[in-house]
Amino acid sequence: MRLIDLTFLSKTLSMVVATGFVLLVFTMTGSGESAFRALLVVLLPLMCIWFSDAMGRLTGLSMGLGRPVITESTPGVFVAIGGWILLVAGLGVWLMGRVQS
């Protein structure tokens, strides 16, 4: 039961952070295009967090010609952690760009 609670908390918190990020971008830039781009940036991290088990089971994928192929499944918790890293890094990169300009 505790794992279900933690998963629900992670999914809810990730949605709050992603929504806040998109709203922050829209508020600070006033541009719908920038907000849409921010939405595109948070989609992959949200997919990693929300569908971590399904994405971890994907095998046989290659990221392009001459690149390694994914041959083993990945535990869902590691996919979710990677999603959180991508989500927070995207927010951090955007904020750092705003501070410098």
- DSSP state letters, 62-90: BSSTTSPB--S---HHHHHHHHHHHHHHH
Domain map (residue ranges) of the chain:
2-55+74-100
Q: What is the rounded average pLDDT of the residues 58-80?
A: 84
Q: What is the pLDDT of residue 42?
A: 94
Q: Is the pLDDT of residue 14 over 80?
A: yes
Q: Report residue 97's pLDDT band, with 50, 70 and 90 as the boundaries.
A: confident
Q: Is the pLDDT of residue 50 over 70?
A: yes
Q: Is the pLDDT of residue 54 over 80?
A: yes
pTM beyond 0.75: the answer is yes
Q: What is the pLDDT of residue 1?
A: 59
Q: Is the pLDDT of residue 98 over 90?
A: no
